[in-house]
Amino acid sequence: MSQLEIELKQLKTEVVNMWNLVHSQLVKSNISMVNFDKDLAREVVSREKRVNGSELKIDRDCENIFALLTPVAVDLRFVLAVLKINSNLERIGDIAEGVAKHVLSAGKPFNNELLKATSTVSMYDEAINILEDSLSAFENEDTALARSIFQKDEFLDKINMNATESIVKYLESHPEDLQQALYNLSIIRKLERVGDQAKNIAEETIFYVEAKVLKHKREG
């Protein structure tokens, strides 16, 4: 095995570990919201430093591979894809931390009726599923699965589009929950961005495997 092959294998292991860390952050932020578990929310906030540290390490390793081993063809595409995926994963970690901070700031548990009216729990579950699919597509070089993420993200977009109307309707009968409803709306906006980051990751997986650039083409 050449030095380049060794470094690429190690890089893939690092980015998968980063993926799993971010997935754990997203799952725990979800649980902390549903159960109003402030201790778990504090854990998510504390572990964000690990996410940031992983991002910096992967960035440095990519730069070293570029500078010292000059990858070409599929190897070059792989490193370029990892560099961008790394950034997307870090942003999803930020989103999980943001939700956890809302849990810490909230004065009382989120009303189950509010969460149901806004489809927040369903949205969270789908955001986590999309992140899992993006990892599976990357690990298995499954571009069909990667492409399926574009359609799955539409579920998140739809909930996000209806969120303001749903919350206004809820507040008509629960005006005392105004602050909580605003936190809920912010969480929905954050989850919509998880879908956006997952789409970016899917595009990079397709670029790496098929040498096809999809950015700016899906809208057309």
Statement: residue 94 has pLDDT above 70? yes
Under the banding of pLDDT at 50, 70 and 90, the label for residue 220 is very low
Q: Class assignment of domain 3-210?
A: mainly alpha
pLDDT of residue 1: 81
Q: Report the chain's C-alpha Rg in angstroms.
A: 19
User: What are the residue boundaries of the structural domains of the chain, listed by start?
Assistant: 3-210
pTM of the model: 0.94
Under the banding of pLDDT at 50, 70 and 90, the label for residue 212 is confident
List the structure tokens of 191.
């989850």
Decide: 95 and 131 in contact? Cβ < 8 Å.
no
